[in-house]
Amino acid sequence: MEDFSGFYKLSVSERLAKVKKSAGLTDEEAKALSDSGALQLERADKTIENVIGAIHLPLGLATNFTINGKHFVIPMAVEEPSVIAAACRAAKQTLPEGFKADADEPIMIGQVQLTGIKDVAEASKNLALNRKEVLGIAAGHMKQHEKYGCGVRDFETKVLDTERGPMIIVDFLIAVGDAQGANMVNTVLENVAPSLAQLTGGRVRLRIVSNLATKRKARASAVWKKDIIGEETIAGVLDAYEFAKHDIYRCATHNKGIMNGIDAVALATGNDWRSVEAGAHAYASLGHYKPLTQYHKNEKGDLIGSIELPLALATVGPAVNSSPTAKIALKIMNVRGSKELAMGMCCVGLANNFAALSALATEGIQKGHMKLHARNIAMFAGALTPEETEAVAEELATEKNFDVEHAKQVLQKVRKM
CATH number at residue 120: 3.30.70.420
Residue 149 lies in a domain: yes
Asked about 272 being catalytic, the answer comes back as: yes
Average pLDDT over residues 225-237: 96
For residue 36, being part of any structural domain is answered with yes
Point out the domain boundary residue: 209, 242, 274.
209
Domain at 262, CATH number: 3.90.770.10
Count how many domains the chain has: 3
Expressed as residue numbers, the domain containing 376 is 368-416
| Total count of residues recorded for the chain | 417
Tell me, yes or no, whether 204 and 69 share the same domain: no
Regarding whether 281 and 411 lie in a shared domain, the answer is no
Omega of the bond prior to 324 within 30 degrees of 0, cis?
A: no
Last residue of a domain, one of 209, 235, 251: 209
Distances (CA, A) of 285 to 131, 252, 310, 354: 32, 11, 12, 21
The reply to whether 236 and 355 lie within a common domain is: yes
Q: What is the per-residue pLDDT across 259-290, written as a single tens digit (0 to 9) for each? A: 999 999 999 999 999 999 999 999 999 999 99
> Domain check: are 141 and 49 in the same one?
no
Lowest mean pLDDT among 71-80, 262-271, 359-368, 408-417: 359-368
Pair (240, 344) in one structural domain = yes
**How do residues 28-53 score in pLDDT, each as one tens digit?**
999 888 876 667 788 788 888 999 98
Same domain, 183 and 222: no
Q: Would you say residue 194 lies in a domain?
A: yes
Q: Measuring CA to CA, how many Å separate 214 from each of 102, 109, 267, 310, 359?
A: 14, 8, 22, 6, 31
Residue of 18, 70, 71, 80 with catalytic role:
80
Distance of alpha carbon 8 from alpha carbon 11, whole angstroms: 8
- Assign residue 382 the CATH number of its domain: 1.10.8
- Decide if 171 is catalytic: no
In the residue annotation, 408 being an active-site residue is answered as no
Q: Which of 18, 245, 256, 406 is catalytic?
A: 256
**100, 226, 369, 371: which is the annotated catalytic residue?**
369
Are residues 263 and 309 located together in one domain of the fold? yes
Is the pLDDT at 373 greater than 70, yes or no?
no
239 is catalytic: no
Final residue of a structural domain among 324, 340, 364: 364
Q: pLDDT band for position 129 (50/70/90)?
A: very high
Catalytic, out of 272, 340, 388, 395: 272
Mind listing the pLDDT tens digit for each residue in 190-212?
999 999 999 999 999 999 999 99
